[in-house]
Homo-oligomer: A and B are copies of this chain.
């Protein structure tokens, strides 16, 4: 969609005839000026509007949006909207880009409490992260969630698909801060203390504990799905298919079908998973998942790093979505997951990250893929912006509600200040440089104001719904305690980075 003329605007309104004021518009254009203007909660005006409608970025010059309640009721030029609407609140967005709120489709918010403590090593999970996980408490984990969500919200992420081992107050916090969330409580069936395993050994399962963990996850998912006026939805989030027994995989799928929930988990994330699945079931993970009926539009497949191109195409063609965490997989494995192949096969790719904000992920995704294919035309700016918005929304099954600025959708939007020196100058003609700058030059700190479901969560760089400093301070306290517990446990001597500490490199 480009700049609407009046007629287009009129028909857009007609499509949403449940708004009572529509009838007053069923008059000739000549009568328009005599109409009383419709009052709406909020008008955002004078924006460089990226609606993400159509197949590109849906740019509208000097664009405006009208919001009533939680929803968008009109999208057009500022002139058109000012002639029809009066806003109880008017947000001036001159020299701002206004975009749909960004989507982080895979984040384990608890990880942030060990940010910077695990990287530059061969086995990220076992050589660096595990000692911290071993000493994580529910209170620490919630402090992490609060920090991570505030941090990313400030950088324009409005939808969080949090996939973590959950505990008390998880849903309540997402309700309180006001972001959109699709929460996927994580579970597995590994025993609490894993016995020493040799290369090639199958993991043992603690089926009783696994079933209990899954039941708790299902209870959470059912209780919170549709909470906060629909702002919070849920998925089922087992860790990966090698970490639960077949019977639990079958139950999880049944429950997901019964409750209408997506299944959000790591798929073909690495050779460990592949080896376990091959040894247990005689097939590679994708073939195994196909066999047990997992390949369909209910699946949100995270990573796919270890899948062959043929397997990736099979998943994409099944209707499943994929999440690409470029920064995480780059730092953990030095690899670039096969999102380009997935997209070429027609599957929707969303972006995710436990450490980076989504502006960063857009940049890394575009650049990593250019490097992977030695081709600067791969994954141009507009493609990754779509992954962070409308395509991401498709991948997580929420494109009927979010991902574009469109009449009838939820009013989740962000204002990005284009007068930040690192986003300057603004060029419009012959080449408009805004989308490339949002992808290659923005850091996320240029996000000025944020609305979710029609409610302002941040205005002029101030978070309105929670106490940001208190959250940072609390996370610091909890992280220090976690760190001290790790330091007091001889397990810390196994952390590979202890050598770098000793060499004065940290």
- By a beta-carbon cutoff of 8 Å, the part of chain A in contact with chain B is 2, 54-59, 113-122, 124, 128, 147, 150-151, 154-155, 327, 330-336, 355-357, 360, 364, 366-368, 370-378, 380-382, 419, 421-422, 424-437, 440-441, 443-445, 468, 471-472, 475-476, 478-480, 483-484, 486-487, 492, 495, 497-498, 500-501, 503-506
Contacts and interface: CB of A to CB of B under 8 A. Distances in A.
Contacts of A122: 376-377
A436 B371 contact: no
Given A367-B364, A425-B479, A430-B483, A116 B382 contact: no
Q: Across chains A and B, which 6 residue pairs bring their CB atoms closest together, nearest first?
A: A116-B433, A56-B504, A425-B479, A120-B380, A443-B443, A151-B421
A399 to B, nearest CB: 19
Given A57-B504, A117-B436, A151-B424, 18 more contacts: A59-B506, A119-B376, A121-B376, A122-B377, A147-B421, A147-B425, A155-B422, A327-B440, A330-B370, A334-B376, A355-B440, A355-B441, A360-B443, A368-B371, A381-B506, A430-B483, A430-B501, A431-B495
A421 B498 contact: no
Nearest to A489: B430
A378 B334 contact: yes
A472 B372 contact: no
A158 B97 CA distance: 30
Contact of A425 (B425, B445, B476): B476
A427 B114 contact: yes
A154 to B, nearest CB: 7
Contacts of A476: 419, 424-426
A484 B501 CA distance: 55
A484 B376 contact: no
Contacts of A445: 443, 445
B120 A430 contact: no
Nearest to A484: B429
Contact of A368 (B367, B376, B424): B367
Nearest to A487: B430
A164 to B, nearest CB: 17
Nearest to A421: B151
Contact of A504 (B58, B480, B483, B495): B58
A433 B503 CA distance: 15
A470 to B, nearest CB: 12
Contacts of A124: 376
A397 B54 CA distance: 53
B431 A120 contact: no
20 contacts: A56-B503, A58-B504, A115-B425, A116-B427, A116-B433, A118-B431, A122-B377, A330-B370, A331-B370, A332-B376, A334-B375, A421-B471, A424-B475, A424-B476, A424-B479, A429-B484, A430-B483, A430-B486, A434-B506, A443-B443
Contacts of A424: 115, 147, 151, 472, 475-476, 479
Q: Which of A118, A357, A425, A503 has the most CB of B within 10 A?
A: A425
Given A431-B497, A431-B501, A335 B151 contact: no
A450 B208 CA distance: 58
A241 to B, nearest CB: 24
A430 B495 contact: yes
A121 B376 CA distance: 6
A483 B333 contact: no
A500 B421 contact: no
A478 to B, nearest CB: 8
A330 B425 contact: no
Nearest to A143: B425
B119 A436 contact: yes
Contacts of A54: 504
